[in-house]
Homo-oligomer: A and B are copies of this chain.
């Protein structure tokens, strides 16, 4: 019974790690699509989001099945329910990467982002990608300190989003409303991606310490 439960947990964890790698790769490729008007990259991201959704459903089925068969209690139960939350956050991160790719595809062959905004998006993507990488590592080896460090990355994303808005809202913004709107929505997609990464960090802290993180 115990060995079976452990095997189930390992399988759930394997799926979560695969999901976290997939959503990291998706955001990296979506950012390439966005910043280099690369339509093939955009379409690859859009085409592969279903794989992430499938993994989400697999985790959900496996967790339900494990609870039903093994009737876990206390920290075992907490672990499998936390896995559900983490998979829901990862699924949404995949959607957000897809939104970035769709914006790139919609504006193709024009670049969705004017040259002067590319550095800020490059930086947002770098920080967000680093956050996704930390999550992959955390899933392999839970560590409350690393998880809490995601908050700092998130602050960096928030600062970058403020920089972005300062440009979009400058009196002399020359690119019109459509590009301003795309810029604002894109900023929000990266920011939400980072928020979900922070949520996952909080879930891991909870797993490790049993304490919820005060917001």
Contact surface of A with B, Cβ cutoff 8 Å: 57, 63-64, 67-68, 71, 73-74, 77-78, 81, 84-85, 88, 165, 168-169, 173, 176-178, 180-181, 184-185, 188, 212
Copies of this protein, total: 2
Q: Which residues of B contact A77 (CB under 8 A)?
A: 64, 67-68
Out of B73, B185, B212, name the residue touching A68 (CB < 8 Å): B73
Separation in Å of the A161 CB from the closest CB of chain B? 12
Q: Which residues of B contact A185 (CB under 8 A)?
A: 184-185, 188
Out of B71, B85, B88, B169, name the residue touching A181 (CB < 8 Å): B169
Q: List 23 A-B contacts (CB under 8 A).
A: A63-B81, A64-B77, A64-B78, A64-B81, A67-B77, A67-B81, A68-B73, A81-B84, A84-B84, A168-B177, A168-B181, A169-B177, A176-B177, A177-B180, A180-B180, A180-B181, A181-B181, A181-B184, A184-B184, A184-B185, A185-B185, A185-B188, A188-B188
